[in-house]
Structure 1
Amino acid sequence: MILSLGQFVFNVDTMTFAEIQRSRSWSYGSNSIAQGRDQHQFTGAGEETITIPFMIYQSHGFGNRQSIDDLSEMADSGSGYVLIDGSGYIYGVFAITSLDETRSHITNSGVARKIDGTMKLMRVDDDRIQTDKVVESTPTAQAV
């Protein structure tokens, strides 16, 4: 497994890719003051998006055209899915916002032998998923 989005597993049989582009931002509020620079206050995490350029070259054993339809059905649901890579790193919960595809190497019957595309994901969970974090309990003082 290279990557998993919910129950959809990216591998050589479904959809392959060579890179993941991740963009994160943080928000700050601004307040103007007299005769000075604006003051800024951190207001929280902003948008987080992931872009995955992919390739399907089914006749050469890379991917399956059906994978695009499977991901489209997931996007149609409007649901968020946990994104996790093969090493176990959890990115968070993401929804599919777009799937772009370019079909090329068209055969005489009109079938594309190669499909290049881009899938864009947007993080939709409010709280960061905590992994490998042990909550230590502290002993409480007893009343005398």
Structure 2
Amino acid sequence: MLMCLGQFAFTTDTLTFTEIQRQRSWQYADNAVATGRKKRQFIGSGDDNISLPGLIYQEHGFGNRVALDDLAAMADTGQGFVLVDGSGYLYGVYTIDSIDETKQVLLFNGVPRKIDFTIKLSRVDDDRIEQQTGANT
């Protein structure tokens, strides 16, 4: 298993991504000072976004195109899901923002032999995870 998002497991049978792109930011308020540089005050964590680009070659046993529909159904709920990788590293709780897919090399009946996809996730606060991991201690 590469990673789990809620109960959805990323494996070679379902979906495999080629990399994990994570972008985190922090927020500051700027305060003007009469003589000198402005002062910055830390006001909290900003966005935490993850992109998972990958490929599906279903006829070669690499992914399943129906798995994208399973993730879309999860996104339709509007809920956040716990994201954890195969080593047990807990990323936090994320919502599914978008799923981009490109179907290529179509057969005569319209079935794609290759699908490129990108899943975009955004972290949401979940007090239950923070309490269990001791993030606030």
Q: Radius of gyration: which is bigger?
A: 1
Percent identity for Structure 1 against Structure 2: 57
- Residue 49 of structure 1: aligned partner: 49
Q: Which digits, 9 at most, give the CA deviation of each residue in 1:6-56, with x for residues without a partner?
A: 000000010011210011001101111112111100001110000000111
- Residue 141 of structure 1: aligned partner: none
Q: Which digits, 9 at most, give the CA deviation of each residue in 1:97-135, with x for residues without a partner?
A: 0100000010011111110010000001155635388x8
Q: Secondary structure at the match of 1:88?
A: coil
- Residue 131 of structure 1: aligned partner: 133
Structure 1 residues 9-88: aligned runs within 5 Å: 9-88=9-88
- Residue 103 of structure 2: aligned partner: 103
Query: Partners in 2 of 1:110 and 1:65 — Cα distance?
Result: 13
- Residue 122 of structure 1: aligned partner: 122
Query: Partners in 2 of 1:43 and 1:94 — Cα distance?
Result: 22
Unpaired stretches in structure 2, ≥5 consecutive residues? none
Query: Partners in 2 of 1:132 and 1:17 — Cα distance?
Result: 30
Unpaired stretches in structure 1, ≥5 consecutive residues? 136-144
Question: What is the letter of the counterpart of residue 57 of structure 1?
Answer: Y
Tell me the TM-score normalized by structure 1: 0.88
| Aligned CA distance change for structure 1 residues 76 and 108 (closer, same or farther; 3 Å) | same
